[in-house]
Structure 1
Amino acid sequence: MKVALTGFRGTGKTSVGRILANSLGLPFFDTDALVEQLVGMPIPEIFRQHGEAGFRALEREVIASLWDVEGVISTGGGAVMDPANVADLRRHGRVYLLSAAPEIIVERIAGSNRPGLTDLSPAEEVRTLLAQRKKAYIGAADTCID
């Protein structure tokens, strides 16, 4: 069984993923943590040195390596923007979209060391990116959970 959790930052993918994996007796895979392990540096440093495009290439590599695992996978917030990632997550598995209201997301990610992806304020960035990603999030998901 493979379960992939997608959604924006702060929607609970990692927390829910760990609980679900433990409940099902399956391994847990956090793609952001796996990217950090792959290159030996934290995500903010990856963004500083390689930009978002460099990070997304590493993320694609990690997700491709998980196409046939049994377990629970927590993805990065933008992973579903890449159709190759969606195909690898869906292969032999189910994809669940975790969502939350923008104001809840802003509250949950406040103080994070993760870099912003735009020059917008955190609240505007969340609203803008959610709108841009909505179609990809819903299109990738077998089930949506608020």
Structure 2
Amino acid sequence: MKIIVCVKHVPDTAATIKIAGDSGYEDSDIKFVANPYDEHGIEEAVSIVEKQGGEVVILTVGKAEAVSTIRSALAMGAHRAILVKTETQFLDSSLTAKALKSAIEQDGLPDIIFTGKGSVDTESFQTQYRLARSFDIPIVNEVSTLNIEGDKAVAQRET
């Protein structure tokens, strides 16, 4: 089983952000980490692959510095990673979904794609929906229980 986990490189939520005019903020002194919601996806993907076999592939869109987040994901048990390099830290959700889709198509379609429920930086909460729509696949958000048996996945969520 091949599971792709989309992981965003975000400022640590404990970081002090300095506003830098119209350009956003100054990030030279900020520690960046894996988006906390995405870490749940990494943990679940690794757990599934440990039981059923396969591989966990981390997919990140961001600046070259995002390699530190990728290393953290690999340390959690992921098998390999893909970094789609950009010049800016923040792309809108439409561009991010397009970049993710292109990378997934080039790497080969997975059995399942995990994302967090959203990112703690921009909180647009749109990328996962745009990505699912681009592949014309179903999406379930805020999953609390996931059971995969063969080619069938049953997800439960709280509402």
TM-score when scaled to structure 1? 0.41
**Bigger share in strand:** 2
**Bigger share in helix:** 1
Higher RCO, 1 vs 2 (CA within 8 Å, ≥6 residues apart): 1
TM-score when scaled to structure 2? 0.38
